[in-house]
Amino acid sequence: MNAFFSMFLERKEELLNLFIDHLNMTTIAVLISLAIGIPLALIITKNKPLAAIVIGIANLLQSIPSIALLAFMVPFVGIGQKPAIIMVVLYSLLPIIKNTYTGITGIDPEKVEVANGIGLSPMQRLFQVQLPMAAPFIMAGIRISAVTAVGTVTIAAFAGAGGLGWFINLGLNANDPNLVLLGAIPASLLALLVDYILSKMEEVVTPEGLKPSDQIVLQTPKKILTKKIVAFGLCALLLVIPIYSGVSAVVQQENRTIVVGSENFTEAIILGYLYKDLIETDTGIKVEERFNLNGSPLAFAALKRGDIDMFTDYTGIASTILLKLPLETDTKKVYQDVTTQMKSKYNVLVSKPLGFSNEYVISASPKSAETYHLEKLSDLVEQAPQLRFGCTTAFSQREDCLPKMEKQFGIHFRNVLGLEGNIRYQAINSDKVDVTDAYSTDAMTVKVKLVPLKDDLGFFPPYEAINLTRKDLYSRYPEVRPVLKKLEHAITTKEMAEMNYEVDVEGKKANIVAHEFLEKKGLLKKSE
């Protein structure tokens, strides 16, 4: 618990900024959902067949996994908060539409007839009779939507949108429950706060006569007015912060210059900070972060769209996954092919290798390595039927990984489990799996004392670290080119592994680790 509070105090400013981002996205998404959902629900109350179709579509949208929906949005609207907000809007529509529809259609027809009988117009009947009577149902739907939105927004971090999901992802990468809690606890508190505020709003908008008998309280007009002011004031707070942040974002957008992206693992984030620090220190040009993008394809899509100006990747990934080139194991040829194809097809320039490679290294637990005499990849092929393999989804699906291994060697493991991130290290440490896919610079392999298996079969393609940069960046800022070149051949595999270790095991901030490395190597421009 002491470690958690220490981390809280250390990262409180970052936490506040991410909390505000989270609140902004939640509030905007729920407001848009209200603007769409309530009018749509009112329309379908007059047409039952249409109601069945609309509610069915809303049900279908909510059944789609949130991360899949987010990934689907990115190619069309780009990265950042925009796809995250659209995702949450689609998720929030169902309770609003369904509860509003149920509330309106559930009103006693005789009361509607009375309203017609006294000469109320359709609009008067709606606002003076139907909506007040349906208020408990509508507010219940809004509360469900808002609380759900708070939780769903945590996924937004995987599209570079920030929010409290950023800490959760960092915690999963580093296998650090304190970091996970640093994101999860504020998210839970925000959900409770939002629900509380909306419950107060529900109290003041629900007519006293429609409340359960045990909740009806005789109050003076003054007290009723005070409650309304408090309720509306609390709701206004939820609006003020997003409005202020939105205005600030517009101002910053005008000054936005270079956008650096990164994928959603520690090494990529560190590399992103290295480039950010170099650019800002050496040129004075402001850099905007778009970190934590969910995988190379998403980051590359953002690069092609112009949502980011650069990100780091690996030759093996760029060749087989991004460019769909035939599998090649010759290091020089892979690099040359990637460089040529990226420039000719996408106007993307590839840096010289950064100096280290992050190859796949199949690794075994010490117990399994000893039991099955695992030292190299050929040993794994021989012992596979007896081994439990816990690997990332990417490794199990990519044609150059497990499918190729199975086809080339006729290999069949005793069991294959899809395990994301550091969950696979927890599994191997608790003897749930015997071997896993790891990386040559992965600090967690050191932490859990895994035994790397030498690739004596020459199976894996080269994975030299490279930087992918939009060609037009150098047209806009030619002074950036020599700055980016500073990281070419500047990082050894050992140095990258050490930086990963500092973040994932020692708990240091990635930006601090990056800055310390640049200072140690003398790569930062000295201030005059």
Kindly report the three-state secondary structure assignment for every residue of 460-497. Answer: CCCCEEEEEEEHHHHHHCCCHHHHHHHHCCCCCHHHHH
Give the sheet arrangement for strand 348-350, strand by strand.
Answer: 287-293, 258-263, 310-314, 465-470, 348-350
Mean pLDDT of 302-317: 92
Length of the chain: 528
Structure tokens at 75: 């190619």
Q: What is the DSSP letter of 127?
A: I
- In this structure, which amino acid lies at residue 500? N
| Neighbour order of strands in the sheet with 415-418 | 415-418, 388-391, 435-439, 360-364, 451-452
pLDDT of res. 180: 86
CB-based contact 499:465 (threshold 8 Å):
no
Note whether 165 and 153 are within 8 A (CB).
Answer: yes
Query: Does residue 194 sit in helix, strand or coil?
Result: helix
Low-confidence winner among 16-20, 117-121, 423-427, 503-507 (lowest mean pLDDT): 117-121
Cα separation, 3 vs 477, whole angstroms: 43
DSSP string, 40-82: HHHHHTT-HHHHHHHHHHHHHHHHS-HHHHHHHHHHHH-SSHH
Which superfamily does 2-252 belong to?
Answer: MetI-like (1.10.3720.10)
Confidence of residue 242 (pLDDT cuts 50, 70, 90): low
- Pairing state between β 388-391 and 435-439: parallel
Percent of the chain with pLDDT over 90: 31
d(CA 357, CA 338): 15
pLDDT value, residue 73: 80
In terms of DSSP bridges, do strands 310-314 and 348-350 run parallel, antiparallel, or are they unpaired?
A: unpaired
At 263, phi and psi to the nearest 5?
A: -80, 180
Helix (H, G, I), strand (E, B) or coil at 287: strand
Integer Cα distance of 376 and 512 in angstroms: 36
Strand 360-364 to 451-452 pairing: antiparallel
Fold of 259-357+463-521: D-Maltodextrin-Binding Protein; domain 2 (3.40.190)
Q: What pTM, to 2 d.p., does this model score? A: 0.77
Stretch(es) of the chain classified as CATH 1.10.3720.10? 2-252
Flag whether pLDDT at 528 surpasses 50: no
Q: How many CA within 13 A on the CB side of residue 186?
A: 27
Which range has the worst mean pLDDT, 57-61, 159-163, 207-211, 217-221? 207-211
Which DSSP symbol is given to 293? E
Architecture of domain 360-452: 3-Layer(aba) Sandwich (3.40)
C-beta of residue 242 within 8 angstroms of C-beta of residue 28: yes
Dihedral, 347, 355, 439, 392 alpha carbons, nearest 10: -10
212 pLDDT band, cuts 50/70/90, is low
Domain(s) labelled CATH 3.40.190.120 in the chain stretch across 360-452
Radius of gyration of the chain (CA): 28
Contacts (Cβ under 8 Å, ≥6 apart) of 423: 172
Burial of residue 61, with CB atoms counted within 10 A of its CB: 0-12 exposed, 13-18 middle, 19 or more buried: middle
Residues 506-515 have a mean pLDDT of: 91
Residues 240 and 161: their CA atoms lie apart, in Å, by: 20
Mean per-residue pLDDT over the chain, rounded:
85
Which pLDDT score, from 0 to 100, does residue 248 have? 55
Note the helical H segments in 306-385.
Answer: 315-317, 331-346, 366-371, 377-383
The pLDDT of residue 526 is 63
Cβ neighbours around 25 below 10 Å, total: 25
Where in the chain is CATH 3.40.190.10? Answer: 259-357+463-521
Percent of the chain scoring above 70 in pLDDT:
91
Q: What is the pLDDT of residues 449-463, one digit of tens each?
A: 889 999 888 888 888
Pairwise pLDDT comparison (210 vs 173), residue with the higher score: 173
> Which residues are within 8 A (CB) of 98 and not within 5 positions of it... i.e. 6 or more apart?
41, 55, 58, 141
Q: Is 161 exposed, middle or buried (0-12, 13-18, 19+ CB in 10 A)?
A: buried
